[in-house]
Amino acid sequence: MSAINIEKCPLCGSPDLKKVFDVVDHFSSGESFPVCDCRSCGFRFTNNFPSEDLIGKYYDSPDYISHSDSDKGIANKLYHLTRRYMLAEKAKLVSCYAGGEPGRLLDVGCGTGYFLQTAKEKGFTVTGIEKNERARMHAITRFGLDVKDDKSFFDIADGSFNVVTLWHVLEHLEHLNESIKKVRDILTPDGIAVMALPNHQGYDARFYQTSWAAYDVPRHLWHFSANAIEKMLNKHRLKIMDIRPMPLDAFYISLLSEKYRDSNTLVRYGRAFMVGMAGYFCSLRNVEESSSLIYIVKKN
């Protein structure tokens, strides 16, 4: 296996890195991957992860619900129920921050196209980028959407989109700095980027530690906090306009984390509910307690 070994912090360039702990890939391979922190800026990331051309098989599971329409099992049913609610919320949020008439919207990592379709119904002219062929074909055939493969992302002309959305996508992209730079380039001067990211400093992440399902190694390469993403965006002449919590994510992530801990069913649902509720109430006081955060970003 060809692994990417990171020797310098992708955020600040420091070679002073330390391993925090190993995290097991419970979802797909059962392999362990080291999660490291940069001693200089605190940026957290997965190390020794498979390169872009080999990582595909780590996504290749019928359980990967971001890319399927399966509604088997309670966790999947819960996911689909919350997805419907979240799609409407996401579209509302994007319309609100974009202001004015709906313009051109690009969803990077659009999966099976549900958000794009919702945005299209709101009046946006939509385009998607999706690496997974099965998901891409679903978006094209079911909704008739304009969805291109991931290679096309870097061919997009500068200033083409008023809105670029990345819903839980940036943490998957091997070429992190290049991807953020490209997002900046393709935005119009007053365009907005909307990025949803897991937050490893949230309540549920601290509770579950190495079992926290949103570490999701080796698919998640970069583990952001509000502080780290702010530094990363500033480096690329982007600034955060607002941060919004995604409190519902804590319930789903906690349920998955309990599954990874192999808790019995009663404990699993009981504790996931308690952790989800605790995280939710903490996030009302401090947004950075939220399991995931949505960043509204503009050019500097």
Residue 9 Cβ vs Zn ion, minimum distance, rounded to whole Å: 3
Which residues within the stretch 42-101 sit at the binding site for Zn ion (CB under 5 A)?
Answer: 43
For the bound state, the minimum distance from the C-beta of residue 276 to Zn ion, rounded and expressed in Å, comes to 31
Give the nearer residue to Zn ion in terms of CB position, either 147 or 180.
180
Q: Does 11 contact Zn ion by CB under 5 A?
A: yes
Q: What are phi and psi of 291, to 5 degrees?
A: -60, -40
Q: How far apart are CA 170 and CA 141, in angstroms?
A: 26
Contacts of 286 (CB under 8 A, 6+ apart): none
Of residues 12 and 78, the one with the C-beta less far from Zn ion: 12
222: left (phi over 0), alpha (psi -120 to 50) or beta: beta
Q: Which is nearer to Zn ion, 12 or 278 (CB)?
A: 12
Question: Which residue(s) pair with 33 in the sheet?
Answer: 23
CA distance 261 to 211: 7
Give me the 12-51 binding string for Zn ion, x by CB under 5 A, dash otherwise.
x-x-----------------------x-xx-x--------
Question: Of 18 and 151, which CB lies nearer to Zn ion in the complex structure?
Answer: 18
**Token pair of 142, please?**
């079911």
Between 10 and 103, name the residue whose CB sits nearer to Zn ion. Answer: 10
116 binds Zn ion (CB under 5 A): no
Q: Which stretch binds Zn ion (CB under 5 A): 3-11, 51-59, 121-129, 283-291?
A: 3-11
Residues in the chain, overall count: 300
The DSSP element (H or E) to which 195 belongs, if any, is strand 187-198
Q: Does 9 bind Zn ion (CB under 5 A)?
A: yes
Q: Is 238 or 294 the residue whose CB approaches Zn ion more closely?
A: 238
Q: Which residues inside 236-295 make contact with Zn ion, applying CB under 5 A? A: none
Cis preceding-peptide flag for 34 (omega within 30 of 0): no
**Between 12 and 54, whose beta carbon lies closer to Zn ion?**
12
- To Zn ion, the closest distance from the beta carbon of 11 in angstroms equals 5
Q: What is the dihedral of CA 116, 176, 160, 163, to 10 degrees?
A: 50
CB 273 within 8 A of CB 257: no
Cβ-contact 189, 166 below 8 angstroms: no
Minimum separation from the CB atom of position 233 to Zn ion (A): 15
Choices 7-15, 18-26, 27-35, 178-186 (CB under 5 A): range interacting with Zn ion: 7-15
Contact by Cβ (8 Å): 53, 230: no
212 binds Zn ion (CB under 5 A): no
Which residues are at the interface with Zn ion (CB under 5 A)? 9, 11-12, 14, 38, 40-41, 43
